[in-house]
Amino acid sequence: ETGVTQSPTHLIKTRGQQVTLRCSSQSGHNTVSWYQQALGQGPQFIFQYYREEENGRGNFPPRFSGLQFPNYSSELNVNALELDDSALYLCASSLVGGLHNEQFFGPGTRLTVL
């Protein structure tokens, strides 16, 4: 069974740039959720994708957008980067109808915005 993977591991961008983060879900999972974890804080829900559609969104501006592909992998795109976007971005996959929608997390992408 393949776990959740994310790429890249680390990324450095400058303010105003755009970034794309990628996530491959765990084998058999059909749902991907994205979280932002600022240093020393708990993760904050960004959005979830199910069947290639956004299935719920947290309190993040529209410059945070995503995609889910037919193979259930996903991308998180952030436009017009701001310094406060510096964080660990976590992807989690789950199976709709699975055990309490238990989410399995990837190792994260550390984004630094200068």
Binding site for other proteins (CB under 8 A): 4, 31, 33, 35, 40-45, 48, 50, 55-56, 58, 90, 92, 100-108
Nearest to 98 by CA among 27, 11, 16: 27
User: From CA 66, how far away is CA 63, in angstroms rounded?
Assistant: 10
Shortest CB 70 distance to other proteins, Å: 20
Residue placing its CB nearer to other proteins in the complex, 43 or 81 = 43
Nearest to 94 by CA among 45, 26, 47: 26
User: From CA 112, how far away is CA 14, in angstroms rounded?
Assistant: 8
Shortest CB 18 distance to other proteins, Å: 26
Residue placing its CB nearer to other proteins in the complex, 55 or 73 = 55
